[in-house]
Chain A
Amino acid sequence: MPDSQGKIRVQCEVNGKAVSFEAYPMERLLDALRVQMELTGTKEGCGEGECGACSIEMDGSLVNSCLIPVLQAEGAKIRTIEGVAHSAQLSALQQAFLTHGGAQCGICTPGMILAATNLLARNKNPTDDEIREGLSGNLCRCTGYTKIFESVVEACHTRKREQDA
Chain B
Amino acid sequence: MLLLCAREFFSLLASGDLDGERPPVSGEQRQGVPYNDSQIIMGNLHIGKSVLRKEGREKVTGRARYVDDIKLPGMIHGVTARSPMARGKIREIRFGSGIPWDEFTIVTAKDIPGKNCIALLIEDQPCLADSVVNHPEEAVVLLAHPDKYLLEEARRAVHFDIEPLPAVFTLEDSLAQTQIIWGEDNVFKTYQVEQGNIDSAWSSADFVVEGEYETGAQEQLYIEPQGMIAQASRSDGVTVWGSLQCPHYVHKALVRLFGLPKERVRVVQTETGGGFGGKEEYPSMIAGHAALLAWKSGKPVKMIYDRAEDMAATTKRHPSRTRHRTGVTRDGKLLAMEIDFTLDGGAYETLSPVVLSRGTIHAAGPYSCPNVRIRSRAVATNTPPQGAFRGFGAPQSVFALERHLDRVAEAIGISPEELRRRNFVREGATLSVGQVVQEKVQMGKLLDRALELSGYHEKRARFARENQNNVIKRGIGFASFLHGAGFTGSGEEYLASEASMRVSQEGKVQVLAGSTEMGQGTNTVFAQIAAEALKLDCEQIEILQPDTSLVPNSGPTVASRTTMIVGKLVETAALTIQKSLSDAGLIRSEYTQAEFQNACRQYIERFGELKALVKYQHPKDLHWDDQHYRGDAYGAYAWAVYVVEVSVDMRTAEVRVEDFVAVQEVGKVINPVLAAGQIEGGVAQGIGYALYENVVWQDGRMANGQMTNYIMPTTMDVPKIRVYFEELPYARGPAGAKGIGELPLDGTAPAIANAIASATGIDVKAIPLTPEKLMELLEKRHA
Contacts and interface: CB of A to CB of B under 8 A. Distances in A.
Interface residues of B, number: 57
A44 B66 CA distance: 11
Contacts of A108: 223, 273
A47 interface: yes
Nearest to A96: B60
A90 interface: yes
Given A100-B673, A141-B223, A132 B715 contact: yes
Given A51-B707, A105-B272, A90 B307 contact: no
Contact of B681 (A34, A53, A144, A149): A144
Interface in A4-46: 34, 39-46
Nearest to B721: A146
B57 A90 contact: yes
A113 B59 CA distance: 11
Contact of A144 (B56, B308, B684): B684
A136 interface: yes
Interface string B208-245: 00000000000011111100000000000000000000
Contacts of B715: 131-133, 135-136, 138, 145, 148-149
A104 interface: yes
Nearest to A83: B62
Nearest to A106: B59
Query: Which of B59, B69, B721 has the most CB atoms of chain A within a 10 A radius of its CB?
Result: B59
A65 to B, nearest CB: 13
Query: Which of A48, A108, A113, A143 has the most CB atoms of chain B within a 10 A radius of its CB?
Result: A143
A142 B681 CA distance: 5
B572 to A, nearest CB: 27
A44 B60 CA distance: 16
Contacts of A42: 62
A74 interface: no
Given A40-B65, A45-B223, A105-B272, A132 B716 contact: yes
B53 interface: yes
B274 interface: yes
A141 B707 CA distance: 12
A106 B519 contact: yes
Interface string A148-159: 110000000000
B720 A141 contact: no
Contacts of B308: 47
B683 A144 contact: yes
Contacts of B684: 141, 143-145
A135 to B, nearest CB: 5
Contacts of B677: 101, 104, 142-144, 147
B68 A44 contact: yes
B273 A85 contact: no
B217 to A, nearest CB: 16
A8 B721 CA distance: 49
A98 B60 contact: yes
A146 to B, nearest CB: 4
B594 interface: no
B56 A98 contact: yes
Contacts of B273: 43, 105-108
Query: Which of A110, A139, A146 has the most CB atoms of chain B within a 10 A radius of its CB?
Result: A146
Interface in A75-93: 80-82, 84-85, 90
Contacts of B55: 106
B63 interface: yes
Interface string B51-95: 011011111111111101100000000000000000000000000
Given A135-B715, A141-B274, A41 B63 contact: yes
B307 A142 contact: no
A110 B59 CA distance: 8
Contact of A142 (B66, B69, B519, B706): B519
Contacts of B713: 144
Interface in A93-148: 94-95, 97-110, 113, 131-133, 135-148
A25 B623 CA distance: 66
A147 B673 contact: yes
A107 B274 contact: yes
Contacts of B58: 106
Interface residues of A, number: 55
Contacts of B617: none
B519 A104 contact: yes
A141 B60 contact: no
A157 B721 CA distance: 21
Contact of A136 (B61, B225, B272, B714): B714
B306 interface: yes
A97 B539 CA distance: 19
B627 interface: no
B706 A50 contact: yes
B281 interface: no
A90 B721 contact: no
Interface in B655-689: 673-674, 676-677, 680-685
B307 A141 contact: no
A42 B61 CA distance: 10
Given A48-B708, A105-B224, A146 B720 contact: yes
Interface in B38-57: 50, 52-53, 55-57
B712 interface: yes
Given A44-B68, A81-B62, A98-B53, A50 B707 contact: yes
A145 B676 CA distance: 12
Contacts of A51: 223, 307, 707
A139 B707 contact: yes
Contact of B59 (A103, A135, A138, A140): A103
A149 B719 CA distance: 10
A141 B677 CA distance: 11
Contact of B307 (A48, A101, A146): A48
A50 B714 CA distance: 10
A101 B673 contact: yes
A51 B716 CA distance: 14
A90 B61 contact: yes
Interface string B706-730: 1110001111101011000000000
Contacts of A43: 66, 68, 223-224, 273
B60 A140 contact: no
B258 interface: no
Contacts of A147: 673, 676-677, 680
A151 to B, nearest CB: 9
Given A45-B223, A46-B707, A100-B673, A105 B274 contact: yes
Query: Which of A45, A94, A104 has the most CB atoms of chain B within a 10 A radius of its CB?
Result: A104
Contacts of A107: 66, 222-224, 273-274
Interface in B487-539: 518-521
Contacts of A99: 52
A101 B671 CA distance: 11
B276 interface: yes
Nearest to B225: A45
Given A41-B62, A146-B721, A141 B276 contact: yes
B271 interface: yes
Contact of B274 (A39, A44, A142, A149): A142
A5 to B, nearest CB: 12
30 contacts: A41-B63, A43-B66, A44-B68, A45-B224, A46-B706, A48-B307, A50-B707, A50-B708, A80-B62, A82-B62, A95-B60, A100-B673, A101-B50, A101-B674, A104-B274, A105-B59, A105-B518, A105-B519, A106-B58, A106-B59, A106-B519, A107-B223, A107-B273, A107-B274, A109-B59, A135-B715, A139-B714, A141-B220, A144-B682, A144-B718
Q: Which 3 A-B pairs have the closest CB atoms?
A: A41-B62, A105-B519, A107-B273
Given A51-B707, A53-B223, A146-B680, 13 more contacts: A34-B69, A50-B706, A101-B676, A103-B53, A104-B274, A104-B677, A105-B224, A105-B519, A136-B716, A137-B714, A141-B681, A144-B721, A149-B720
